Structure 1
């Protein structure tokens, strides 16, 4: 038997021995997802653009989970961290370029800058919402370069 045929037979046997996997997506609750997106966008604009840390943070869970290694877990430590940051960086802004939802997750694609001369950073923020509260956050951050290898923007 040729090596190719043996590999084909082995692959077929392996595939038949694996349990069936369903790739069917659960039915989405678009109304709930849109409510989550509205909650996150309102929080984000008040917190990161208006620097209204106390009022906007009412939608953060007390045991808020933070995956950015520079920012502490918990609502109070998160608010304290950014209140100090905004005091030192009063021109910091984050323009939401686009957003998306899927289940309990809300994604924001953001252009953050610290003043008019700053090229800024491209940020993808991911928030998990549970019972109308923001309970968890991840982000990916990339500096906007002076020159790019293509004519596309990061936004």
Structure 2
């Protein structure tokens, strides 16, 4: 077999396609700037807590870029529309909270695994949020959201 990479783990290969990266750069961990990644993670975690838990929408959004790109089909692109959307949502849902269960980074991406609820009686939703950070600003966001079921086919939790 010609080339630098002779064997690629199916998991790494699948992950690289899912994340839109190439295998060679995903395997090259020496190119990562872990100090910058941790700074990005802290920026996103602080933003998330202030925005989604304390509902400090305007204040927390100072780290969101004006031309913010949103991939959730229910939320508009741009900082102002994003702030307006959630300002209204939190006004109607003051008990809404989002507990970060775990976080991770990879380059300019920050991943959050979140348990989002709307009051104590709500089982909530499991959320994976992915943020792209550039020059100290959140510039892009993706998410996948799944309701926490009343009963599961296994004894594992979603968190």
Q: Same fold (TM over 0.5)?
A: yes
TM-score (norm 2): 0.84
Matched positions, count: 139
Q: Which residue of 2 aligns with 1:51?
A: 55
Q: Does 1:131 pair with 2:135?
A: yes
Q: TM-score, normalised by structure 1?
A: 0.86
Deviations 1:76-134 (A, max 9, x none): 00000000000000000000000000100000000000000000000000000000000
- Partner of residue 29 from structure 1, selected from 11, 15, 33: 33
> SS of the counterpart of 2:87?
helix
1:119 corresponds to which of 119, 123, 140: 123
Cα distance in 1 between the residues matched to 2:58 and 2:41 = 20
Q: Are 1:60 and 2:64 an aligned pair?
A: yes
Distance in 2 separating the partners of 1:33 and 1:65: 20
1:73 alignment counterpart: 77
SS of equivalent residue, structure 1 residue 81: helix
Find the structure with the greater CA-based Rg: 1
Aligned to 2:103: 99
Post-superposition Cα deviations, 1:20-55, rounded to whole Å, max 9, x if no partner, equal 557341521110000000000000000000000011
Runs of 4+ residues deviating >6 angstroms: none
Unaligned runs of 5+ in 2: 6-22
Q: Distance in 1 between matches of 2:67 and 2:95?
A: 29
Partner of 1:110: 114
